[in-house]
Amino acid sequence: MKKSLLAVALLGAFAGVAQAQTAVQIYGTVDAGVTKRSDQTLAIGKRANNTLGFKGTEDLGNGLKALFQLEIRYEPDTGTIEQGAGGVQRPLFQGQSRVGLQGDFGMIRLGRGLTAFQESSTAFEPWHGLPTPAGFQTDLQVAGYTSDPLGYTGNSTNRFSNAVFYNSPEFMGFQVNTTIGMKEALGGPYVGRGTTAAPQYAAGKEASTLPFSVSGTYKNGPAALMLAAERNAVESRLMSIAGSVMASNELKLMASYQRQNQSNTVNANPITKAWILGANYTMGPGKILAGYGQKSPDGVAKTKQASLGYEYSLSKRTYLYADASKKKGGVQVPSTINTYSLGVNHAF
């Protein structure tokens, strides 16, 4: 019995270490591959966001938990923090930075993160919300809408800073998620109906309305549904309806429709509509992804996008991927862009 007592004694010592260690979990993703865009040179690029995160929960008793999550975003091909348009470096914790409490009432958090709509909508997008050109999340899935119009140039377009996030508990398949932003000035400017010299929202100006985002989701066996509405700091409004169904154990079908109204910041043609159809088909370690969609801004040429992809899992944490995509129309130059990519995604 001496040995087992020793074992227990050692376990006691470990318990201390382990408790200290488990206060913080480190996790992340590294995704890199070779990308060829029809109008550009061969490049090393990414398909998914690259993250290095720190998170933890603390049991406060009576079903109450404190929790936090800090998520670095980076570009593995150059080693920098994630960069937005024009090479602008985004915040260190671009992924999210939130702290909050969780209990029977649901979860309430403060900080910066994806809005309720942006977070809910990824489940109805055939590339599960990835930012790759083959995916639909960053453009068609949001009808060209941005959640953060007054942020600095290059900042991400699907987050609220200075926000309160509330997620209800799931009740009979229903869940409600709400994000309320503050009017706090974030950076700006936003040209809108003005000019570069006299923008509608000058640099450092506060929001003209309280930004909010709300999504309701409903799950019933193989089917799922989402209704969402959002209004940003310059009063652009977005509405979205989306659904998915597991047609068989292997086949998931998805559809979404969204409508943006920019009547507060444009003089004409404020409405942009978009729809997407998508499918995921699982075959053992492989998965086929397919999608087609259109974006129709009033008075502007339609954007049409068709994409096909394949993921092959080497393990639960690592997969290889290949994507092909064609996007044409809209205001892009050249008017037709084909993109091909091949790479590896590793979660840790």
Binders of its own copies in range 12-51 (CB under 8 A): 14-15, 17-18, 20-28, 30-34, 41-44
The number of residues making up the chain comes to: 348
Residue 340 CB, shortest distance to its own copies, in Å, is: 15
User: Please, are residues 321 and 310 in contact by the beta-carbon 8 Å criterion?
Assistant: yes
Q: Taking CB under 8 A as the criterion, which residues in 260-279 touch its own copies?
A: none
Q: Taking CB under 8 A as the criterion, which residues in 133-192 touch its own copies?
A: 161-164, 182-184, 186
Residue 318 CB, shortest distance to its own copies, in Å, is: 4
Residue 133 CB, shortest distance to its own copies, in Å, is: 16
- Nearest residue (CB) to its own copies, 61 versus 221: 61
User: Please, are residues 233 and 183 in contact by the beta-carbon 8 Å criterion?
Assistant: yes
Q: Taking CB under 8 A as the criterion, which residues in 288-327 touch its own copies?
A: 314-315, 317-318
Q: Taking CB under 8 A as the criterion, which residues in 192-221 touch its own copies?
A: 206
Sign of the Cα torsion 167, 168, 170, 172 reads: negative
Residue 43 CA to residue 281 CA, distance in Å, equals 29
Residue 98 CB, shortest distance to its own copies, in Å, is: 7
Per-position DSSP letters for 80-131, written without gaps between them = EEPB-GGGPBPPTT-SEEEEEEEETTEEEEEEEEE-HHHHHHGGGSTTTT--
Residue 239 CB, shortest distance to its own copies, in Å, is: 26
Residue 174 CB, shortest distance to its own copies, in Å, is: 27
DSSP state of 170: P
Residue 112 CA to residue 233 CA, distance in Å, equals 15
- Nearest residue (CB) to its own copies, 45 versus 192: 45
Long-range contacts of 50-59, Cβ-Cβ distance < 8 Å, separation of 24 or more? 50/74, 50/75, 50/76, 50/82, 51/27, 51/95, 52/26, 52/28, 53/26, 53/27, 53/28, 53/95, 54/24, 54/25, 54/26, 55/24, 55/25, 55/27, 56/22, 56/23, 56/24, 56/25, 57/102, 58/23
Binding mask 107-136 for its own copies (x = CB under 8 A): ---xxx------------------------
Residue 94 CB, shortest distance to its own copies, in Å, is: 6
Residue 274 CB, shortest distance to its own copies, in Å, is: 28
- Nearest residue (CB) to its own copies, 33 versus 126: 33
Binding mask 69-108 for its own copies (x = CB under 8 A): -x-x-xxxxxxxx---------xxxxxxxxxxx-------
- Nearest residue (CB) to its own copies, 92 versus 300: 92
DSSP state of 141: G
Residue type, 184: E
Binding mask 224-263 for its own copies (x = CB under 8 A): ----------------------------------------
Which of 39, 58, 250, 298 touches its own copies by CB under 8 A? Answer: 58
